[in-house]
Amino acid sequence: MKIGDIARLAGVSTTTVSRVLNNSKNVKEETRIKVNNVIKEQNYYPNMIARNLSSNKNDTIGLIVPDIKNTYFSKIVNNMVTNAGKKNLNVVLGCSNEDFEIQKKYIELFIKQRVKGIIIAVTKNSYNELEFFENISSKIPVVFIERKINSNFPTVCFENINSTIKSIEKLIEKGHKKIAFLAGDLSISTARERLEAYKRVLKKYNIKYDEKLVFYGDFSMESGYILAKEIFKTNVSAIYISNNLMLLGFLKALKEYKKNEDEYLISTFEHDEIVYFINQDINSYKIPFSELTKKSMDLLEEVSNKENKKNLVEIELD
Protein backbone atom coordinates (compact mmCIF):
# COMPACT_ATOMS: atom_id res chain seq x y z
CA MET A 1 0.00 0.00 0.00
CA LYS A 2 1.56 3.23 -1.13
CA ILE A 3 0.48 6.76 -1.77
CA GLY A 4 -0.32 5.94 -5.39
CA ASP A 5 -2.76 3.23 -4.33
CA ILE A 6 -4.57 5.61 -2.06
CA ALA A 7 -4.69 8.18 -4.85
CA ARG A 8 -6.17 5.70 -7.29
CA LEU A 9 -8.78 4.47 -4.83
CA ALA A 10 -9.76 8.02 -3.94
CA GLY A 11 -9.74 9.17 -7.54
CA VAL A 12 -7.23 11.96 -6.97
CA SER A 13 -3.55 12.55 -7.64
CA THR A 14 -0.71 11.54 -5.34
CA THR A 15 -0.07 15.23 -4.85
CA THR A 16 -3.45 15.61 -3.26
CA VAL A 17 -3.02 12.58 -1.05
CA SER A 18 0.31 13.99 0.05
CA ARG A 19 -1.38 17.27 0.88
CA VAL A 20 -3.99 15.53 2.98
CA LEU A 21 -1.34 13.50 4.74
CA ASN A 22 0.56 16.65 5.61
CA ASN A 23 -2.48 18.65 6.62
CA SER A 24 -1.85 21.15 3.88
CA LYS A 25 -4.33 24.03 3.73
CA ASN A 26 -5.23 23.93 0.09
CA VAL A 27 -7.50 20.93 -0.08
CA LYS A 28 -11.24 21.05 -0.51
CA GLU A 29 -12.95 19.69 2.59
CA GLU A 30 -14.82 17.16 0.51
CA THR A 31 -11.63 15.86 -1.06
CA ARG A 32 -9.92 15.67 2.29
CA ILE A 33 -12.71 13.54 3.71
CA LYS A 34 -12.75 11.27 0.71
CA VAL A 35 -9.01 10.71 0.92
CA ASN A 36 -9.00 10.25 4.66
CA ASN A 37 -11.70 7.63 4.34
CA VAL A 38 -9.63 5.61 1.93
CA ILE A 39 -6.60 5.94 4.22
CA LYS A 40 -8.67 4.65 7.14
CA GLU A 41 -10.20 1.83 5.12
CA GLN A 42 -6.88 0.66 3.85
CA ASN A 43 -5.18 1.12 7.19
CA TYR A 44 -2.44 2.94 5.36
CA TYR A 45 0.70 4.21 7.08
CA PRO A 46 2.80 6.60 5.01
CA ASN A 47 6.39 5.60 4.44
CA MET A 48 8.51 8.01 6.45
CA ILE A 49 11.68 6.77 4.83
CA ALA A 50 10.43 8.06 1.50
CA ARG A 51 9.08 11.22 3.02
CA ASN A 52 12.34 11.94 4.76
CA LEU A 53 14.32 11.36 1.61
CA SER A 54 12.25 13.62 -0.53
CA SER A 55 11.68 16.35 2.02
CA ASN A 56 15.19 16.19 3.36
CA LYS A 57 13.90 16.10 6.89
CA ASN A 58 14.15 13.50 9.57
CA ASP A 59 12.05 12.81 12.60
CA THR A 60 14.45 10.75 14.60
CA ILE A 61 17.15 11.99 16.89
CA GLY A 62 20.17 10.02 18.04
CA LEU A 63 20.85 9.79 21.75
CA ILE A 64 24.10 8.42 23.12
CA VAL A 65 24.72 7.78 26.79
CA PRO A 66 27.81 6.35 28.48
CA ASP A 67 26.08 3.93 30.83
CA ILE A 68 22.42 3.16 30.71
CA LYS A 69 22.63 0.75 33.65
CA ASN A 70 23.35 3.77 35.80
CA THR A 71 19.91 4.99 36.83
CA TYR A 72 21.10 8.56 36.39
CA PHE A 73 21.32 7.95 32.66
CA SER A 74 18.35 5.67 32.34
CA LYS A 75 16.30 8.53 33.74
CA ILE A 76 17.71 10.76 31.03
CA VAL A 77 16.87 8.18 28.39
CA ASN A 78 13.38 7.72 29.72
CA ASN A 79 12.68 11.44 29.74
CA MET A 80 14.17 11.96 26.31
CA VAL A 81 12.15 9.18 24.73
CA THR A 82 8.97 10.36 26.42
CA ASN A 83 9.43 14.02 25.53
CA ALA A 84 10.44 13.16 21.99
CA GLY A 85 7.46 10.87 21.62
CA LYS A 86 5.16 13.75 22.46
CA LYS A 87 6.51 15.55 19.41
CA ASN A 88 6.28 12.40 17.31
CA LEU A 89 10.02 12.18 17.21
CA ASN A 90 11.81 8.88 17.40
CA VAL A 91 14.89 8.30 19.49
CA VAL A 92 17.62 5.92 18.38
CA LEU A 93 19.77 4.94 21.26
CA GLY A 94 23.48 4.30 21.55
CA CYS A 95 25.16 2.96 24.67
CA SER A 96 28.86 3.72 24.64
CA ASN A 97 29.73 2.11 27.95
CA GLU A 98 32.31 4.88 28.40
CA ASP A 99 34.21 3.55 25.40
CA PHE A 100 35.23 6.21 22.91
CA GLU A 101 35.44 3.82 19.97
CA ILE A 102 31.96 2.48 20.57
CA GLN A 103 30.71 6.02 20.91
CA LYS A 104 32.31 6.85 17.59
CA LYS A 105 30.64 3.88 15.96
CA TYR A 106 27.21 5.03 17.10
CA ILE A 107 27.89 8.54 15.90
CA GLU A 108 28.80 7.25 12.46
CA LEU A 109 25.78 4.97 12.42
CA PHE A 110 23.59 7.97 13.21
CA ILE A 111 25.21 10.16 10.58
CA LYS A 112 24.60 7.53 7.96
CA GLN A 113 21.04 7.39 9.19
CA ARG A 114 20.85 11.14 8.57
CA VAL A 115 19.19 11.66 11.93
CA LYS A 116 17.88 15.10 12.70
CA GLY A 117 20.72 15.50 15.17
CA ILE A 118 22.69 13.85 17.92
CA ILE A 119 22.31 14.45 21.64
CA ILE A 120 25.20 13.02 23.53
CA ALA A 121 26.48 12.53 27.05
CA VAL A 122 30.08 11.85 26.09
CA THR A 123 32.41 9.17 27.35
CA LYS A 124 35.20 10.12 29.69
CA ASN A 125 38.21 11.58 27.98
CA SER A 126 36.11 12.91 25.14
CA TYR A 127 37.38 16.39 25.90
CA ASN A 128 40.66 15.21 24.38
CA GLU A 129 38.98 14.72 21.03
CA LEU A 130 37.83 18.19 20.16
CA GLU A 131 38.91 17.83 16.56
CA PHE A 132 36.77 14.76 16.14
CA PHE A 133 33.73 16.51 17.53
CA GLU A 134 34.32 19.60 15.41
CA ASN A 135 34.40 17.38 12.40
CA ILE A 136 31.20 15.62 13.38
CA SER A 137 29.46 18.85 14.22
CA SER A 138 30.15 20.10 10.73
CA LYS A 139 28.26 17.14 9.31
CA ILE A 140 25.30 17.01 11.65
CA PRO A 141 23.78 19.05 14.49
CA VAL A 142 25.21 17.90 17.81
CA VAL A 143 24.20 18.90 21.32
CA PHE A 144 26.17 17.82 24.35
CA ILE A 145 24.31 17.07 27.54
CA GLU A 146 25.29 16.54 31.14
CA ARG A 147 29.03 16.50 30.41
CA LYS A 148 30.87 19.43 28.82
CA ILE A 149 33.80 19.01 26.53
CA ASN A 150 34.52 22.62 25.64
CA SER A 151 32.68 25.89 25.78
CA ASN A 152 32.54 26.14 22.00
CA PHE A 153 30.11 23.28 21.67
CA PRO A 154 26.36 23.56 22.24
CA THR A 155 25.75 22.07 25.66
CA VAL A 156 22.90 21.61 28.10
CA CYS A 157 23.82 20.57 31.60
CA PHE A 158 23.05 21.06 35.23
CA GLU A 159 24.81 23.85 37.07
CA ASN A 160 27.43 22.02 39.07
CA ILE A 161 29.64 24.46 40.88
CA ASN A 162 27.18 26.53 42.86
CA SER A 163 24.98 23.51 43.40
CA THR A 164 27.83 21.56 44.89
CA ILE A 165 28.91 24.52 46.99
CA LYS A 166 25.45 24.66 48.49
CA SER A 167 25.49 20.95 49.20
CA ILE A 168 28.78 21.18 51.00
CA GLU A 169 27.61 24.22 52.90
CA LYS A 170 24.92 22.06 54.43
CA LEU A 171 27.65 20.01 56.01
CA ILE A 172 29.49 23.08 57.21
CA GLU A 173 26.32 24.53 58.65
CA LYS A 174 26.02 21.48 60.85
CA GLY A 175 29.36 22.35 62.34
CA HIS A 176 31.67 20.20 60.27
CA LYS A 177 35.10 21.56 59.43
CA LYS A 178 36.77 18.37 58.33
CA ILE A 179 34.97 17.33 55.23
CA ALA A 180 36.15 14.48 53.04
CA PHE A 181 35.61 14.70 49.30
CA LEU A 182 35.15 11.67 47.05
CA ALA A 183 36.08 12.81 43.58
CA GLY A 184 34.82 11.23 40.38
CA ASP A 185 36.76 10.58 37.22
CA LEU A 186 38.47 13.88 36.51
CA SER A 187 38.41 13.31 32.77
CA ILE A 188 34.70 14.08 33.07
CA SER A 189 33.63 17.70 33.46
CA THR A 190 31.14 17.10 36.24
CA ALA A 191 33.84 15.49 38.38
CA ARG A 192 36.17 18.41 37.84
CA GLU A 193 33.51 20.99 38.59
CA ARG A 194 32.44 19.33 41.79
CA LEU A 195 36.03 19.21 42.98
CA GLU A 196 36.42 22.86 42.07
CA ALA A 197 33.34 23.62 44.15
CA TYR A 198 34.84 21.83 47.11
CA LYS A 199 37.93 23.98 46.90
CA ARG A 200 35.93 27.16 46.59
CA VAL A 201 33.63 26.50 49.47
CA LEU A 202 36.52 25.72 51.78
CA LYS A 203 38.12 29.01 50.83
CA LYS A 204 34.84 30.81 51.40
CA TYR A 205 34.67 29.48 54.95
CA ASN A 206 38.38 29.84 55.62
CA ILE A 207 38.84 26.15 55.99
CA LYS A 208 42.26 24.97 55.01
CA TYR A 209 42.32 22.68 51.98
CA ASP A 210 43.79 19.38 53.07
CA GLU A 211 44.95 17.15 50.26
CA LYS A 212 44.58 14.10 52.50
CA LEU A 213 40.83 14.62 52.66
CA VAL A 214 40.40 14.31 48.93
CA PHE A 215 39.91 10.77 47.69
CA TYR A 216 40.16 10.15 43.99
CA GLY A 217 37.72 7.70 42.51
CA ASP A 218 36.19 7.18 39.10
CA PHE A 219 32.42 7.53 39.56
CA SER A 220 32.01 3.76 39.89
CA MET A 221 30.38 1.89 42.74
CA GLU A 222 33.57 -0.08 43.13
CA SER A 223 35.65 3.02 43.73
CA GLY A 224 33.16 4.36 46.25
CA TYR A 225 33.45 1.09 48.10
CA ILE A 226 37.24 1.04 48.08
CA LEU A 227 37.62 4.65 49.09
CA ALA A 228 35.15 4.20 51.90
CA LYS A 229 37.60 1.91 53.59
CA GLU A 230 40.23 4.62 53.35
CA ILE A 231 37.87 7.10 54.86
CA PHE A 232 37.05 4.77 57.72
CA LYS A 233 40.69 5.10 58.76
CA THR A 234 40.37 8.85 59.15
CA ASN A 235 38.40 10.69 61.75
CA VAL A 236 36.15 12.68 59.40
CA SER A 237 32.43 12.48 59.87
CA ALA A 238 31.19 14.58 56.95
CA ILE A 239 31.60 13.68 53.31
CA TYR A 240 30.70 14.92 49.86
CA ILE A 241 30.39 12.06 47.40
CA SER A 242 30.57 13.02 43.75
CA ASN A 243 27.89 10.81 42.28
CA ASN A 244 25.18 8.25 42.87
CA LEU A 245 27.25 5.13 42.16
CA MET A 246 30.10 6.09 44.44
CA LEU A 247 27.52 6.79 47.10
CA LEU A 248 26.20 3.26 46.73
CA GLY A 249 29.68 1.86 47.02
CA PHE A 250 30.22 3.90 50.12
CA LEU A 251 26.97 2.72 51.66
CA LYS A 252 27.85 -0.85 50.88
CA ALA A 253 31.10 -0.49 52.79
CA LEU A 254 29.22 1.18 55.61
CA LYS A 255 26.98 -1.81 55.90
CA GLU A 256 29.73 -4.37 55.65
CA TYR A 257 31.71 -2.70 58.36
CA LYS A 258 28.60 -2.47 60.45
CA LYS A 259 28.98 1.25 60.80
CA ASN A 260 26.16 3.14 62.30
CA GLU A 261 24.06 4.99 59.75
CA ASP A 262 24.48 8.33 61.39
CA GLU A 263 28.20 8.02 61.80
CA TYR A 264 28.69 10.05 58.64
CA LEU A 265 26.86 13.07 57.36
CA ILE A 266 26.72 12.77 53.60
CA SER A 267 26.01 15.12 50.74
CA THR A 268 25.92 14.06 47.14
CA PHE A 269 24.74 15.36 43.79
CA GLU A 270 21.94 12.97 43.01
CA HIS A 271 20.96 9.57 44.24
CA ASP A 272 18.56 6.91 43.30
CA GLU A 273 15.30 6.61 45.22
CA ILE A 274 16.61 3.27 46.34
CA VAL A 275 18.91 4.97 48.78
CA TYR A 276 15.97 5.89 50.94
CA PHE A 277 15.82 2.22 51.82
CA ILE A 278 19.28 2.39 53.25
CA ASN A 279 19.76 5.79 54.71
CA GLN A 280 17.23 8.55 54.95
CA ASP A 281 19.55 11.37 55.72
CA ILE A 282 21.56 11.94 52.63
CA ASN A 283 21.54 15.43 51.28
CA SER A 284 21.08 15.67 47.53
CA TYR A 285 19.23 17.38 44.71
CA LYS A 286 16.05 16.41 43.01
CA ILE A 287 17.29 16.64 39.46
CA PRO A 288 14.95 17.99 36.75
CA PHE A 289 15.78 15.43 34.07
CA SER A 290 12.76 16.32 32.03
CA GLU A 291 13.96 19.89 31.75
CA LEU A 292 17.37 18.69 30.64
CA THR A 293 15.91 16.62 27.84
CA LYS A 294 13.48 19.30 26.71
CA LYS A 295 16.12 21.99 26.62
CA SER A 296 18.54 19.75 24.79
CA MET A 297 15.92 19.07 22.13
CA ASP A 298 15.21 22.78 21.89
CA LEU A 299 18.88 23.58 21.53
CA LEU A 300 19.24 20.88 18.91
CA GLU A 301 16.48 22.56 16.97
CA GLU A 302 18.27 25.89 17.23
CA VAL A 303 21.57 24.39 16.20
CA SER A 304 19.88 22.79 13.20
CA ASN A 305 18.65 26.20 12.14
CA LYS A 306 21.98 27.78 13.02
CA GLU A 307 20.18 30.21 15.28
CA ASN A 308 21.56 29.26 18.67
CA LYS A 309 22.59 32.43 20.44
CA LYS A 310 24.33 30.89 23.40
CA ASN A 311 26.15 27.60 23.45
CA LEU A 312 25.90 26.77 27.10
CA VAL A 313 22.57 26.19 28.80
CA GLU A 314 22.99 25.52 32.48
CA ILE A 315 20.03 24.38 34.52
CA GLU A 316 19.97 25.70 38.07
CA LEU A 317 19.15 23.28 40.86
CA ASP A 318 17.47 23.81 44.14
Partner DNA sequence: CTGAAAGCGCTTACAG
Q: Enumerate binding residues for a copy of itself (CB under 8 A).
A: 43, 45-50, 52-53, 58, 60, 68-69, 71, 74-75, 77-78, 81-82, 85, 88, 90-95, 97, 102, 105-106, 108-114, 135, 139, 248, 251-252, 255, 272, 274, 276-278
- Cα separation, 34 vs 186, in Å, equals 63
CB of 156 to a copy of itself, least distance (A): 20
| CB nearer to a copy of itself: pick between 72 and 181 | 72
Nearest to 220 by CA among 101, 65, 70: 70
CB of 15 to DNA, least distance (A): 4
DSSP letter at 146 equals S
Near DNA by CB under 7 A: residue from 8, 22, 97, 152: 22
**Helix locations, the chain, DSSP H:** 3-10, 14-21, 29-42, 48-55, 71-86, 100-112, 130-139, 161-173, 189-204, 221-232, 244-256, 289-304
- Residue 237, H or E segment: none
- Cα separation, 95 vs 122, in Å, equals 10
CB of 211 to a copy of itself, least distance (A): 30
DSSP-based three-state secondary structure for 197? helix
CB of 110 to DNA, least distance (A): 15
Q: Which does 151 bind (CB under 5 to 8 A by kind): DNA, a copy of itself, none?
A: none
Interacting residue ranges for DNA, rule: CB under 7 A: 2-4, 11-19, 21-22, 25-31, 46-47, 50-51, 53-57
